[in-house]
Amino acid sequence: MRIMTALVAMAAPLVAQIAVMPIAHAAQCPDVELVFARGTSEPAGAGRVGQALANQLAAQLGGRTLGVYGVNYPATYDFLGAADGAIDATNRIATMSAQCPSTRYVLGGYSQGAAVVDMLLGIPPLGNKVGDVGSAPPLPAALANKVVAVAAFGNPSTKFGIPVSAAVMPFAGKGIDLCNDGDPICSQGRNPFAHTSYENTPLVGEAAGFVSGMF
């Protein structure tokens, strides 16, 4: 737990200084909903990386409508709060599925938000040595089957050798993990600034292309 707390704390002061763009909204029952968990210390909503992904993805969905839901969780230095995000995302998809049975979902997360996504996929966000401690249950199968694609940025579990692209069924082949060169949160890099600039890199476009290709 100390490992994750240290990683999150290292990135947070820089993240907190960057403003977040307004969240995009679509029809009550969009064809696609991006459920995105923001990074540590970002204001409530989808965060700057989530909004950047939404902006690029909306233009690549071939006329499908896109909704964006910012996962509701503390996003503080206390990593245990990430489990709240996984629970909130599960509840959101369950509620939307009841109201909008045709809507399909894209899961996304940045930094601590990527750990939220890991939990939904059944991936230990702190690696197998820690396991499920502080984690939340994965998405139930009935909801998981509605997820078309998964995109994680600066994912801590990638540093432990378990990226979202390694997820098993029903998520096998649906995930892409984006790790900026030198990012110490998702790799052995030592450049903390590499963790705070995803929205300004080609990695967002790469993620959008991957996701749109799944439809």
Helix pair angle (47-58, 202-212), 10° resolution: 50
Structure tokens at 96: 């939307």
Active site residue ranges: 111, 183, 195
Q: Say how far apart CA 131 and CA 143 lie, in whole Å.
A: 23
CB neighbour class for 213 (10 Å; exposed up to 12, middle 13-18, buried from 19):
exposed
Q: Say how far apart CA 59 and CA 75 lie, in whole Å.
A: 29
- Angle, CA of 155, 153 and 129, to the nearest 5°: 5
Count of Cβ atoms closer than 10 Å to residue 76 Cβ: 14
- Which residue in 18, 19, 20, 53 sits closest to 35, CA to CA? 53
User: Looking at this protein, which amino acid is placed at residue 144?
Assistant: A
| DSSP letter, residue 174 | -
Cβ 165 vs Cβ 176: under 8 Å: yes
- Angle, CA of 163, 81 and 67, to the nearest 5°: 65
